[in-house]
Amino acid sequence: MSPRINSKVGAFVLALFILHLIVILSIIKYFTIAAVNRGLKNETSRIRVLSTGFKNHDFWENFIDSSEEDEDELEERKTELLSTIKVVNSKDEDEYEITGPLLTTTKIHITPIQIWTSYQTSHETTNRVQDLTTTTPATEKLPTLVTALLDIGRGKWRYYARTISIYHNYMFHVLSLKLPLVAFVDEHSYEFVLKTREKLGMLDQTKIWNITLEDLPLYRHINVIRGILENELTGRRWQDNWDNATQTHPEARSPEYDLVVNSKPYFLYNASTENPFDTSNFIWLDAGYGQGKPKNFPDEYIWEPNFPKDKVSLTKITPFYDPITRYTIDKLYRQDWSVVSGGFLAGNKQAVQRYYRYYHWKVVELLFKHQMIDDDQTILVMLINEYPELFNVLHGGWFDAFKLFQ
């Protein structure tokens, strides 16, 4: 065969090979896109199962537009819907409400099995842990300060007693911060907050909610919490590897305490939803933050902090070389050890509302799947390990927020 014929045959074979390769790649692309679309449709189908019984169909259609959402956005919207479900009393089944900031908008009926299945569907866990420290601040106007104080009878406790007057002395310094304020308090503290902010000349930058424990979404679980604590303290469920010293701790003895401290994300959620002062960022400070010591607060109570966008900022109090990733629930539950401070949290609306949704379902999981309840610091560590991309964690002391975020 001549060299000229060999050249033509070689060119024909090469062209045929390239043609086959193009066909194969096109087939792979087609089935990949089809698989992704089927996945998104399946996600939407699972969500729409919950739509039965919704009276406000416009709300539902605006909430979910499955055809154009990517998986992350769809999952976030689904979780947002599920986590705003609040239970009220009903004879035959649990009645759930879609709620805004302490306001009811519509109702649906879901059985306990459905709500747990919804939780498992909406809750994604990631094992990826990235660098948690973000140094790029977002330039915003002054944030809204959020705090709360409800009297749970702590002044009469045998251990860790603290009267409401002591809390008012502590809270005075928090109220003195020159920031817009949203406060959630009961009848024992309403007048105190009102008059304090008035004397400080900041009443026009103050919104006060007069509430009770019964107003909190987690209150419906108060008897479940009480039963868990009683079973532990009577020895029926106390584990040998737990620290006996924690039996005197508030989180191991008082269901009301657990209810209030685990409602911090809900207070932030409410403040960010209403946003009465039209701010971009929101700060949570415990009413007793700084323990009433002026040295723990900024000069003249002026604080103009910056926070990274779409993250929840907080403080880690264990040594910098102690990784959060090593802490599991077994290493924290009923152990006399704190990894992070729950007294300070901050972030923009998107971050704190996402945080509330994750936090709410983590509490539900602990209560009904593990028969556990702990304070907010333990649950914070669990969420940091599951959703590291959501958090901006800086190392510092219990009351170092004013120094770390400027």
Q: Is the pLDDT of residue 121 over 50?
A: no
When pLDDT is averaged across residues 170-195 and rounded to a whole number, the result is: 98
Residue type, 326: R
Which pLDDT score is estimated for 65?
Answer: 33
Element (H, E) at 283: strand 281-285
Q: What pTM, to 2 d.p., does this model score?
A: 0.69
Which pLDDT score is estimated for 141?
Answer: 81
Higher pLDDT, 59 or 289: 289
Task: Give per-residue pLDDT as tens, 198-228.
Answer: 999 999 999 999 999 999 999 999 999 999 9
Classified as helix, coil or strand, 96 is strand
Lowest mean pLDDT among 17-26, 101-110, 296-305, 375-384: 101-110
When pLDDT is averaged across residues 161-182 and rounded to a whole number, the result is: 98
CA-CA distance, 270 to 9, in Å (whole number)?
Answer: 75
Which pLDDT score is estimated for 23?
Answer: 63
Q: Is the pLDDT of residue 291 over 80?
A: yes
Say if residues 66 and 74 touch (Cβ distance below 8 Å).
Answer: yes
The proportion of the chain whose per-residue pLDDT surpasses 70, expressed as a percent, equals 66
Higher pLDDT, 108 or 310: 310
Query: Strand 281-285 vs strand 340-348: parallel, antiparallel, or unpaired?
Result: antiparallel
CA-CA distance, 272 to 280, in Å (whole number)?
Answer: 9
Which pLDDT score is estimated for 30?
Answer: 53
Task: Give per-residue pLDDT as tens, 24-56.
Answer: 666 655 554 444 344 433 433 332 222 222 223
pLDDT, averaged across the chain: 78
The proportion of the chain whose per-residue pLDDT surpasses 90, expressed as a percent, equals 65
Q: Is the pLDDT of residue 122 over 70?
A: no
Domains, the chain, with CATH or none: 61-122 (no CATH), 144-404 (3.90.550)
